[in-house]
Amino acid sequence: MVTFLLAVVLVLVVLVLIGYVAGYNKIRSADVRVAEALSGIDVELTRRASLIPALVQTVQTFATHEKAILDRVTDARAALTSATSGGSVAQRGAAEKQLDSALAPLLALGQSYPQLNSSANFLDLQRNLADTEDKLAFARQYYNDSVATLNRLLTTIPWMFVAPLTKVGEKEYYQTPR
């Protein structure tokens, strides 16, 4: 009888250990997916920021007296670049919003300068920016899906009992800049 109880206890201990390892690995891999998704956003934000100097140069060629708009775009690009190198999700969103508001008047200059709007370089840059925006929207969605999966794991049974041991906390969602 004692050996049977000892065997049952040993089996239960092994099952709990297997459950802990499985939960730990599941939570850690979800955390890695969140970090991967955030780096995907950073890649697209960096791609977007790298298009800005060429866009500014093209516009500057046609609209030299629009210095305030060009300076605002350059400052917003610098803020976005610094936010992607270690800033929080909220900082990335705020920098992205700042760049969006700076780009709108710059892209609208095409209406004021017909020769700019007919420039192949300007049109190509606009297409590249639109393509990057599409990829950025997908990257944001992937990140938010990854965060939802991680946050769900951290707050549901049985994983919530393993979560404190993984030292992984809930992550914030990426808010679309408006």
CA distances from 141 to 41, 96, 127, 162, 165 (A): 10, 16, 21, 27, 28
What fold characterizes domain 20-166? de novo design (two linked rop proteins) (1.20.1440)
Under a CB-based contact definition with an 8 Å cutoff, are residues 154 and 160 in contact? yes
At 69 the three-state DSSP class reads: helix
Domain parsing of the chain, residue ranges: 20-166
Residues 45-91: pLDDT tens digits?
889 888 888 888 888 777 766 778 888 888 888 888 888 877 788 88
Q: How many CA atoms lie within 13 A of 108 on its CB side?
A: 9
Residues 103-152: pLDDT tens digits?
888 878 777 777 777 778 888 888 888 899 899 999 999 999 999 999 99
- pTM of the full structure: 0.81
What confidence category does residue 35 fall into, taking pLDDT thresholds of 50, 70 and 90?
very high
